[in-house]
Structure 1
Amino acid sequence: MPVNYATPAADQLFPVAGVRLGVAEAEIRKKNRRDLTVVALDAGCTVAGVFTQNRFCAAPVQLCRKHLGKGKEMRALVINTGIANAGTGEPGRQTAQATCDAVAAALGVAADQVLPFSTGVILEPLPVDRIRAGLPAAVADLKADNWHAAAHAIMTTDTIAKAASRKLAVHGKEITISGISKGAGMIKPNMATMLGFLATDAGIAQPLLDRLVKEAADASFNCITVDGDTSTNDSYVMIASGQSGVSFTSESDAGWAEVKAAIIAVSVELAQAIVRDGEGATKFITVAVQGGKDIDECRKVGYAIGHSPLVKTAFFASDPNLGRILAAVGYAGVADLDVDGVKVWLDDVLVAENGGRATAYKEEDGARVMAQAEITVRVDLGRGAVAANVYTCDFSYDYVKINADYRS
């Protein structure tokens, strides 16, 4: 079960004017499950995305980058689960293109106005004929209030659907933000085996949206790790329809700071939901690193702690084996780190300072914190004023079981 997370009710996921979603059962890999999603965009939407840094990136990622790079107006997204269409070479690129062709024909738009997304098993061919056969049902299902169904239709090993919405007033008008994400394993920054889609009815000029999607990803999806594996398919896409009547072209526009903060907050909620549903996770852990000279070294330390199997298994066992955390700080790659200046806390319990165990630390205090479902590891590097958070989870027996059984 996910750690302190539940899918919002359907009526808590607000429609975004200009965006419609439809789902269908296409039997892409398994029967009797929703596995195909189409998102139709009205004319006038701006779209931006960030994608995996894995060099073995999937065919749909390649095609998304190509289509976005043309600078044309995007009119649709198509998402399938079950098969990742990664490690499939030229045939995979052809099936990704064929998927776009089929969606374009169904919606009356150009193929290069369609962005394809896939998630699931790698090295398996995408059954594009099943996608073609499922498209009429997905298109017939298109409606603005379908975020809840779409959140379920993009799942793979997820145990729960992930979604979030916000409303805020700007210039006397209401702006809506809604988003969904999927992911539970093969999760590591830059980005992860995750898909994320966020839409707002604010108008956001393309250059501003291009910057925002990167900033939002850096504050959210690029701060999470479940198991340290960077996937082939991860994508985070933002859509701005402009139908609220409030538009932004510059960072200095009145109201932009509030809209930007709300969009980043939704992104963080969607990203944290992935960690809370990490494969086999029983605990949600925030690694808060402060006192760094720059963001890079803070994240190096945060990732070193968050990726460590020894740290993560200690959290699962509720074992305050804190030497594992200190070791991770030490090998994080901050070459000139003065370990005597480092302090480490578990929540409010100071556990290490002056190069070793804190004088006042008691084992029972550490054990009390480690037994909680949510834990903050706070590290002060004592070198500057920069801080960064990384979000992770523990490693349990179920992580191995889930991944051993994934293809069966």
Structure 2
Amino acid sequence: MKKIIPFAILIIVVILALVYPSTETVNIPGNKIDSGDTAWLLTATALVLLMTPGLAFFYGGMVSKKNVLSTMMQSFVCMGIITIIWVIFGFSLAFGDSLYGIIGNPSTFFMMKGMLGNATWKLGPTVPLVLFAMFQLKFAVITPALITGAFAERIRFNSYIIFLCLFLIFIYAPLAHSTWHPDGLMFKLGVLDFAGGTVVHMSAGWAALASALYLKQRKTISHSPARISYILLGTGLLWFGWFGFNAGSALGSGALAATALATTTTASAAAAMSWVFFEMARGKKPSVMGACIGAVVGLVAITPAAGYVTIPSSLIIGIVAAVVSNLVVAWRSRTSIDDTLDVFPCHGVGGMVGMLLTGVFAHQNVNAGNTTGNGLFYGETHLFFVHLIALAAVSVFAFFGSYILLKVTDLISPLRVSEEDEIAGLDVSQHGETM
């Protein structure tokens, strides 16, 4: 029966594609697609997709040699399964007609209907709606992939697929809708999340902590990273792709995109060097892995703020995020929490630091779309307290929601591999392959 289910799912997808070909053309008077904005977002979409293979190398280089392929596959499979769900009803859940400001109507863009012609998204009126949908798809792809670093080396592949589907539907989509849809609860509250610090990194970070707690420790915790060179390659691909992640979120090729690119570059560089210098100050050697982790932490932290803060402020965000995440990594290592690749300290904490500092350093002169107000640094308190409230709400929702989904998944299909499979390595036990 279990072997038949995957084929049955594919057959259902084929039937849906035949029944709902979505050939209707939408021509809205007055809509004008800008070729420059469209060209940039096409490029940004490709850049964001590149981040997922980059993450595969980043994570793959950190695990033990017997788990490299399985860890990388956990990232790559997201590009397949999440895309299918997104096209059928996932985009509708995130950006469809709002249901109480929490989730979108799954029928709004079911099977990508209404994507032909000159239809556009409300907040991106110069790019085709289908392009906006594909751009947002890449965010949905990488978010569950980020979580995999927390339960690397001990999760069954089949169970992981079930969990990532549930996570997309019940955690990611509601957060994306609430934060980025004009009728979303957090959007109306005034939460500023330019490119996903809340939606992507905080949700993945809290889900990672829930996963580490639920799956408990590996049988063998310590190991040597398989390939430091993979980590360097992954970092380079992530940094390169992140320009699409952040600058692309301007949904145009103007000054705001340029500002987001500049703040992204600066924060990541500052965080990379801060991580290295902080470790040197603590008597450690400047490690290659440390520089790579620091760079990624900076990218994470600047994500919510990229289009709302100035370049000098991005330096502060990168430095603070690197130091705080480094301290949390050190704390985590002294506990029994087996977050294999420190997803929570780096992505979760980095996202929270970025969200709070957005509430400190955001200024309306950077982005006229910021109607909430200036940050705490400029003497205004409203935005900062809005972000404090949102941080608490998202943290509770993402952690406990993910923990429940892990339990549900475990009931459907056991999450942990057997002790024998874990010792043999997931490359062999789950995929029958070796490097």
Shorter chain as normaliser: what TM range?
Answer: under 0.3
Name the one with the larger helix percent.
2
Q: TM-score, normalised by structure 1?
A: 0.25
Q: Give the structure with the higher percent strand.
A: 1
Normalising by structure 2, what TM-score?
0.24
